[in-house]
Each structure stands twice: as C-alpha cells, then as structure tokens.
Structure 1
Amino acid sequence: MATYEVALVLLVDASGAVLMQHRDDWTSISPNQWSLPGGHVEQGETPEQAAHRELLEEAGLTAGELRLLWSGPRPYETGFPHTVTVHVFHGTTNATQRDVVVGEGRAMVFIPREQVLDRDLAVTTATILPLHLGSAGDAH
C-alpha cells in the first residue's frame, strides 16, 4: 500500500468565495467532482511549498501567507488503496476569476461560500470544507 502526503489550498477571495476545481474524468481520484486545488507533496518539498506550487500549476495563482488549517488522514473511501496524509492550507487573495488560469481539471472557479456545499464534492473536500468554512471564510 502506497503512503504519501497531499497539500490542498482553501483560497478565499475578497468576497468570501472559495476557489474550487471541477476535476475531469481523466483523474483516478474523485473524477467529475469538485475539490480544493492541490496535489502530491514531492520529495524534498514541505507541504506548504507543495500548496504554493499546486496553486500556481492548477490555477495560475500565487498566494501570500498560507496558514495550516487542518492536517490528518484522508477520509476513508471504500476501495481507495493508499494511505494519505492531507494538509489543508488557508489563504486569501485579491485575485478575481479573470486572473484564474485552468491548468488542470474542467474548471477552476471562485464559488460563493453559500454555494460550495451544494456541489458534488470529492470525499476529502466534503469532509474538510464544512468543518472549516466558517472560520476560514471569515478570515479575509
């Protein structure tokens, strides 16, 4: 069984909207679902460095300070064969939708905070987002 780390970014814009990725059907994890941008922590990288790198690769955005919001095991999902530690970082941005470049997935969209939980969310995002949306969303 593979063991690895993943860094995700809960990025909130000036209006409180959350940057979300609509994953495509080519991905083996959570295809066609909505998730926070992020990905694997590479060798020699800290989770925070990975979060910054993934945000740039997937959305074309940079963020100032990213604060660790949550770290723990990926929520259990039947048939998922790996052990994953997830690190979720929170940041704010002055970027707007016009600044976003879709580097991965079907879409990368700032979604108003009151609408994010209405999406078909990936298992990790569905677990983490409701726990932290209130405190993270207010920190802008």
Structure 2
Amino acid sequence: MEGRRSGAVCVTVVDTLAATWHGLVMATYGVALVLLVDPSGAVLLQHRDEDAVVSPGQWSLPGGHVEPGESPEEAARRELLEETGLTAGELHPLWSGPRPHEADFPHTVTVHVFRGTTTARQQDVVLGEGQAMVFIPRDEVFDRDLAVSTALILSMI
C-alpha cells in the first residue's frame, strides 16, 4: 500500500512507575509489607481471598502497593491501617529487594519489608481485606499455606 508505513512502535515512558526494555514497556512498582509482632511473639498474617491476584487463598504479611509520591514506610503504615485498623509505632526496615520467586516479565516488583511490634491484641484487629487477619504464634506460622514471599521473609527472622 502506497503511502502507508507498518512496523513496531517503541514507546518510551519516563516515569518512576515504568521503564523500557528492548522497546517494550516494563512496569515496575513497589510493595510494602509489615511484619508485625505482638508481645507474645505472634506474627500478624492475612489469609488472602481465594480470588486474590497474588497468592490466592494463602497466608501473607499485610501490605500492598506503594502509591506515587509515597515512601515505602508510608505505604506500609497506610496498608496496615487499611487492612487491620492498627497503627504501628516504630517500623524498622527488615529487607528490600526484587520479589525473588516470580518471573513476572514484563513486571518488576520491589518488595520493602518493615518489622514492628505492637501491644494490640487479636480483638483489636479490624478485618479490612482478606478472609482473616490473625496473630499466629511464631512456632505455628510454617504450619500455614504461606505465600512464597512470606515464607522467605519469615525464614529470615
């Protein structure tokens, strides 16, 4: 066809939420998780919904996406409040890096994990997301069907 061009289009996005790889748009984003421990040493875990996009039906740490303009710690605090009704005192960075177990091409996820303690009890938890949000004794956490990332994180402590 005369006067027409065909071919691939290379889109370059200049943004903190996207990068390019060989002309393809590759989304990159951050996730903030909270490893919250009560005075007895129990860990707060979320039983994820069966239709969740990530780790459906498994147990994981509370957390979620880092929004634009938000620091990972701010995201961790916001997600904890939204999902549990709890606020955290001091949060200490425990680990930060790429999600090691998933080859999500063309997505790259950076996980930021914060550890904190709380005086909250189970009855203080307000379920905001998932099937359940439970403080689980540390010696029982590996009896649950854990999301891979949560199992890796819990094995570090």
Same fold per superposition (TM over 0.5): yes
Shift of 1:79: 5.8
Query: Which one of 124, 149, 155 corresponds to residue 99 of structure 1?
Result: 124
Match of 1:137 in 2: none
User: In 2 relative to 1, CA 81–34 (structure 1 residues): closer, same or farther, beyond 3 Å?
Assistant: farther
Query: Which one of 30, 43, 56 corresponds to residue 81 of structure 2?
Result: 56
Shift of 1:21: 0.2
Identity percentage of aligned residues: 75
Cα separation, 1, equivalents of 2:35 and 2:105: 23
Q: Which string of whole-angstrom CA distances, capped at 9 and with x for unpartnered residues, describes residues 52-106 of structure 1?
A: 0000000110011100011111022356752100000000000000000010000
Give SS of 1:28's match: coil
Give SS of 1:72's match: strand
Match of 1:75 in 2: 100
Instruction: List aligned pairs for 1:84-95, cutoff 5 A.
Output: 84-95=109-120
Tell me the number of residue pairs that the alignment of Structure 1 and Structure 2 aligns: 132
Q: Which structure 2 segments of 5+ residues have no match?
A: 1-25
Q: CA RMSD in A?
A: 1.2
Normalising by structure 2, what TM-score? 0.81
Normalising by structure 1, what TM-score? 0.90
Shift of 1:131: 1.1
Query: Which one of 136, 139, 143 corresponds to residue 118 of structure 1?
Result: 143
Match of 1:44 in 2: 69
Match of 1:135 in 2: none
Letter matched to residue 93 of structure 2: L
Query: Which one of 5, 8, 11 corresponds to residue 36 of structure 2?
Result: 11
Give SS of 1:127's match: helix
Letter matched to residue 67 of structure 1: H
**Structure whose residues are more often helix by fraction:** 1
Cα separation, 1, equivalents of 2:27 and 2:91: 27
User: Which structure has the larger Rg?
Assistant: 2
Letter matched to residue 91 of structure 1: G
